Structure 1
């Protein structure tokens, strides 16, 4: 929770200060660069987070061996996927854009290697992760504020971009050092662990990459069809619209165990309906205040150059609400072991998002990006989920609507 509070503090006071200083163009270049390599990062991790977590939970030594024997493989995949992007922008990048690309490349490289965070979560020492992440976040925010405050060249922002992930990675790697010598008894077993990660991780990669791409498609297509300035304005709206989602996610995380452990399907449905209602109440409250104060907030903290982010902000807040309800539905599907369905659905969502983003951004620009994001989330929440297990998610949504309308029925 402390990490989230510092992130929001940084978003309001530091990120806004930096965004105002560098302007939408440079801010858009930073957002675009990070979006590109975050996708590469997901590919390079090969679904290892889930696999390593499960392996350590069952057999700690085996999990440590899996981490140690696959680190070079993750680095290899990251460099193979990143190399064409770095070379392209080295040749075609204008002004300082290449340095932001290179900084994003380094930052996501350290993130792709940093599966040590999974190790500490799996051995129930997540406080180590929290302390390290908070230290890295504070260091990055202080450097960003310092660079903007003293009006230093914007290209120096590449330093905190790299340190945001490098610093936590190095701290976790040092804390993990006693485990480096844990290796398979026979050298040939190293290949066995690598093949295992490729085989099992492959089933997660498709879904993970689909999610990574579709959540960033609007930014990437805006960069192609519009400009980096549009990306900068839109990324401000996107970041603000998602900044409060940790509240709903915390509630979902704390409520899910009781839903998963419920053996009575009818009671599980009722519990999930109530969770949907709580999500809707929180989300509608946030949307109301965003509409009421969003314009003032953007002008005061970000400057008049970001006025164009207001209407996308409201639409994206709605999208965050739908996405939150979608998370509840996805967890409800997971209760019935619908992991294969969710993986296939994400591919369809990706294709839908690509089509909607291209058509709507070409027609309406930044506003089109926000509308396409909302439309994609609605399709993902409703139509695409209704094909699972004879429409059990449709039943969930119908019961939720009935619950909302219950007071009005009584009055009638």
Structure 2
């Protein structure tokens, strides 16, 4: 892998380090301040609109990454062509969700929901710019924008908790954390883009038709990723918001190292997409999977040794039940990371139809299993349901494509020839 790829990964990881700071010094302070039940309400609101965002993107996030990695101008055309589509889908789905929440939830949850809705609108468009800079190995711009936004948001959150302001004021940083980077990234993109306004206008209809054709296949795939992580939160929130608060803290800690996985996955996939030789690309995917396994295993050992102390120090006695499911949450992140590698690799082969059918089956499995598991086992059912879904998503549901293309990459993880030239 080129030096530029490694440097880009370091920029992406640097961007997330401040998020860890926020987790340790601010988010935990807020969670301790408002208690598991109110923290569950906050999680419930953000979970719903995370799914709305995924639907509104209509698969364009994967298209932008893939096409920008191959041709920068093509990526820019898709970003502009999908702007109106994203607005349309978001307006329809967000309005329906807000109406439902207004009629069914308490006032505090609805306030959080409105804030999450506004924040997701900005994130919806900001995601395109963020993916563009990652795909062109310019993640330093993402780092600058996100660090600024996180600092502003964390200062506001800390102030609200420190001065014991009403819990509803936490809606302010929910909006700021997406508004600030959106404004900054849009300004940078306007200066850095290669395409001229006339050139973009000439291609708008062409790329809108392309996105609608391909996006309808990808939207269920991208929706599945959101559903895997959010279904448990939605069902658990309806049953017990206290349990949802416990679950949210466990998943936050258990996935706290995902920024490292994501940095390597995003950076190395640009090289994998560009690689023409099949054998080399298979080995590259196997090596990337090994990196994911090593990083996640290290995190599991760390939390096994220090997890109990960390939870007591950061969150307090009210969150001690997190210890029961924390290591499981780490393994959920492991399989999620490997599944991301596999599915994004399939996109290299334009496996849109396969991902479409896979997702329809997997989503149905996930919803049924999660509902039953939470109904009978509550908190513990939620964590085991997401674990089972991630394992099947990585293995069985991927292995049928092209005579076990993904299975072959998994077998290569254990072959010395994958790492050493003959």
Q: Is residue 134 of structure 1 aligned with residue 147 of structure 2?
A: yes
Q: Which has the larger radius of gyration?
A: 1
Q: Is the 8 Å Cα contact of residues 115 and 171 (structure 2) preserved in structure 1?
A: yes
1:256 and 1:51 mapped to 2: Cα distance? 13
Q: CA deviation at 1:157?
A: 0.4
Structure 2 residue ranges without an equivalent (≥5): 1-12, 417-422
Partner residue, 2:32: 20
Question: CA RMSD, aligned part only?
Answer: 3.1
The answer to which of 83-92 and 326-335 deviates more is: 326-335
Q: Matches of residues 2-401 of structure 1 in structure 2 within 5 Å?
A: 2-52=14-64, 54=67, 58=71, 60=73, 64=76, 67-68=79-80, 70-114=82-126, 115-121=128-134, 125-176=138-189, 183-184=197-198, 193-224=207-238, 226-253=239-266, 261=275, 263=277, 265=279, 272-330=285-343, 333-334=346-347, 338-398=351-411, 400=413
1:222 and 1:158 mapped to 2: Cα distance? 22
Judged with a 3 Å threshold, the aligned counterparts in structure 2 of structure 1 residues 186 and 21 are, in CA distance, closer, same or farther, namely closer
Q: Is the 8 Å Cα contact of residues 184 and 190 (structure 1) preserved in structure 2?
A: no
Judged with a 3 Å threshold, the aligned counterparts in structure 2 of structure 1 residues 141 and 190 are, in CA distance, closer, same or farther, namely same
2:394 and 2:136 mapped to 1: Cα distance? 34
1:187 and 1:274 mapped to 2: Cα distance? 41
Q: CA deviation at 1:189?
A: 7.2
- Deviation digits for residues 105-158 of structure 1, max 9, x if unmatched? 100011112233345446654322221111001100111111111111111000
Q: CA deviation at 1:42?
A: 1.6
1:128 and 1:39 mapped to 2: Cα distance? 26
Aligned length: 399
Q: Is the 8 Å Cα contact of residues 298 and 306 (structure 1) preserved in structure 2?
A: yes
Judged with a 3 Å threshold, the aligned counterparts in structure 2 of structure 1 residues 72 and 56 are, in CA distance, closer, same or farther, namely farther
The answer to which of 68-77 and 288-297 deviates more is: 68-77
1:299 and 1:281 mapped to 2: Cα distance? 27
Give TM-score scaled by structure 1 length.
Answer: 0.86
Give TM-score scaled by structure 2 length.
Answer: 0.84
Q: CA deviation at 1:345?
A: 1.8
Q: CA deviation at 1:25?
A: 1.3
Q: CA deviation at 1:355?
A: 1.6
Judged with a 3 Å threshold, the aligned counterparts in structure 2 of structure 1 residues 298 and 56 are, in CA distance, closer, same or farther, namely closer
Structure 1 residue ranges without an equivalent (≥5): 404-412
Q: CA deviation at 1:77?
A: 1.6
3-state secondary structure, aligned to 1:386: coil
Q: Is the 8 Å Cα contact of residues 103 and 162 (structure 1) preserved in structure 2?
A: yes
